[in-house]
Amino acid sequence: MSQYIERYQRRKLISSYFSVVLSIALVLFLLGVLGLLVLNTKKLADHFKEQITISVFLKDNAKPVEIDQLQKSLALAEYTKSADYISKEDAAEQYSEDIGENFVEFLGYNPLKNSIDVHLKADFVSPDQIAEIASDISSKTYVDEVSYDEPLIELLSDNVKKISLWILIASAIFTVIAVLLINSSIRLSIYSKRFIIKTMQMVGATKKFIRRPFIWTNIQLGVLGAALALIALGVLLYYVDQNFPELNLFQDYILLIALFVGVFGLGVIISWASTHFATQRFLNLRTDDLYY
């Protein structure tokens, strides 16, 4: 009978530890994902901004030397990421492939113009800056038109500001929720041992002596949960980097190390603090209050 009771208590203890580790791992993993999102918000925003293109259409009478000089000056400009010259013949060929029909043969001439596609650096993608850049390029006598998607740029700029703000707010809220969830899991684990705590206290054990094994055990559980969360976070990082290499997630390895250390440290600190205050609460309760 005693062996059955002992096995039952051991299974119950393992189940309790497992639930605490799982809770800590899941919460820290989600917190780590949110941390990655916060760290890479600007990088993601920059990636989308740099897809914006300014198309500089040239007049038919533009001389080759003028076109070459313009392309080189645009490529060297501080706001340019890349500048690619597209001849009217290449543009017609690409457009014919897109529509599945040779429109040049149908019309009898090529209505398209030679152009230069300018991809801007993310820091210069705003309605005012692009309008100023377009105005400067348009002042060239051999430039026929400068075209870009103005409504898209305004929408992108507004949404980036809103998303950045809401991510910061969500991070703060989720951090508080993470602390509360881990704290609740540990408190429930200690609640089941409240009678043991009170018995040790009644036989003369000091509060520090009683708290020490609980704190050490839950710190170990916090370390294990944080380790599982970091492994899952590493797998997620690798998967995203393999499928979206343009994001260069491993480029800022110092920030990644800081994030991993922060998640690990948070797991340990929350485990320690939650255990300390939970045991203190039961140590301060009267014996009669343990039944409620």
3-state secondary structure 94-162: HHHHHHCCCHHHHHCCCCCCCEEEEEECHHHCCHHHHHHHHHHHHCCCCEEEEECCHHHHHHHHHHHHH
8 A C-beta contact, residue 131 and residue 157? no
What is the β-pairing status of strands 143-147 and 53-58? Answer: antiparallel
8 A C-beta contact, residue 116 and residue 138? no
Tell me the backbone φ, ψ of residue 115, rounded to 5 degrees.
-150, 165
Residue 29: CB atoms within 10 A of its CB come to: 20
Cα-based distances in Å from 241 to 34, 36, 39, 246? 16, 12, 15, 8
Per-residue pLDDT tens, the chain, 292 aa: give them. 445 445 544 565 566 677 778 878 888 888 888 888 777 777 777 777 888 888 888 888 888 888 888 888 888 888 888 888 888 777 777 767 767 777 666 666 667 788 888 888 888 888 888 888 888 888 888 888 888 887 877 787 777 778 777 877 877 787 777 777 777 777 777 777 777 777 777 777 777 887 888 888 888 888 888 899 999 988 988 888 888 776 677 777 788 888 889 888 888 888 888 888 878 777 776 665 555 5
d(CA 67, CA 30): 52
8 A C-beta contact, residue 130 and residue 124? yes
Give the amino acid at 86: I
8 A C-beta contact, residue 167 and residue 36? no
